[in-house]
Amino acid sequence: MQRLGNILVAVDASATELPELECAAQMALAHGAQLKLVDVVPEFSWTQRLILSGSEHLHDLLERERGQLLEAKIAPLAARGIKVSSKVLRGRTSAALIQEVVAEKHDLVIRNAKGATSRRTGSFGTTSYELLRRCPSAVYLHQIDTPVGCRRIVAAVDANPEEPEMMPLNERILDAAVAVRDLSRAQFDIVHVWSIYGERMVKDYMRTSEFAQLEQSVRGEHEQNLHKLLASCNLEVKSDQIHLIRGEPTIEIPNFVRANNTDLLVMGTVGRRGMAGILLGNTAEMILSQLPCSVLAVKSPGFMVPEASPASSAPLFPPEMPPVP
């Protein structure tokens, strides 16, 4: 099993309860990883800088205050044997976090799914969506009402035989899901949603018997490819843990999550230039907008940071990390 090595934990240092920090601590202990706690102080707007005299000095005071609050959270973690540091970042939250990830080669970002002051509707805030779109590392978005120790984990994979390039990402999804499962001893399900391309049009031009044969054939191909994926990962699961669902991922995955009281959904995002990347990103975001649970999003091996220079995605569990003694 590859291991985490360098975890970035984004927190609101002034908050009294930080379940995402305990989640990060458990992962750090399990993987022998180091933690970096960060808080982001936003820049003053142009209007504020114009009106406020000494705005730069005031900004420095805010950074110092946040730094002291972060330092106070280090001692309890260090007492548990965790190597931990802290840093105050400056600027727009998502941009500051991504810059830190790229500069320091963090392989996982953990933060709450939605900030207390977020104006966005739904369970995930604007920063969460930006990290999903642009952060080259894996991202764990923790819902405040979700237990730190997961009871049920769902891994959503895309075993479409027409898209073999998705297999490396699927393997990462399963690898990450198994790691969290082993940490929390949670119930574990694998979901693959399949459909017939252009079904409405095709169905109109085929006899009922022909369409039934096509339907059976397509389902069989998806099922075969899914079992091929599980075999490539040396993953042994019971038949009742594998769910081959017909429909659209943006509908069926949220439905499954809600119906089964899921605590964590492990899913993948693909970063590509052009329309392909936009469409794949939108699928992930449409699913995210309907979820009541926490999300662990892993990135494809060739993930490209949109509207930025190419940045290779660090593996979720870097192979160079030595085993925990």
Q: What is the DSSP string of 186-241?
A: -EEEEEEEE--TTHHHHHHTS-HHHHHHHHHHHHHHHHHHHHHHHHHTT----GGG
For the chain, what's the residue count? Answer: 325
Q: What is the DSSP string of 49-74?
A: HHHSTTHHHHHHHHHHHHHHHHHHHH
Determine the pLDDT at residue 103: 94
Q: Enter the pTM of the model.
A: 0.85
Determine the pLDDT at residue 274: 42
Determine the pLDDT at residue 45: 58
Q: Could you give all domains of the chain from N- to C-terminal order, each with its CATH number?
A: 6-299 (3.40.50.12370)
Q: Based on DSSP, count helices (H) and strands (E) in the chain, helices before strands.
A: 10, 10
Q: Mean pLDDT, consecutive 10-residue segments, the chain of 325 residues? A: 83 90 93 95 66 65 90 94 95 94 95 84 88 91 86 92 84 92 90 84 79 88 92 90 93 95 90 45 79 92 60 40 38
Determine the pLDDT at residue 59: 64
Q: What is the DSSP letter of 267?
A: E
Determine the pLDDT at residue 80: 95
d(CA 82, CA 86): 13
Q: Would you say 190 and 243 are in contact if contact means Cβ atoms under 8 Å apart?
A: yes
Show the 3-state SS of 130-183: HHHHHCCCEEEEECCCCCCCCCEEEEEECCCCCCHHHHHHHHHHHHHHHHHHHH
Task: Please compute Rg for the chain using Cα positions.
Answer: 21
d(CA 230, CA 222): 12
CA–chain centroid gap for 212, Å, is 37
Q: At a CB cut-off of 8 Å and minimum separation 6, what does 145 contact?
A: none
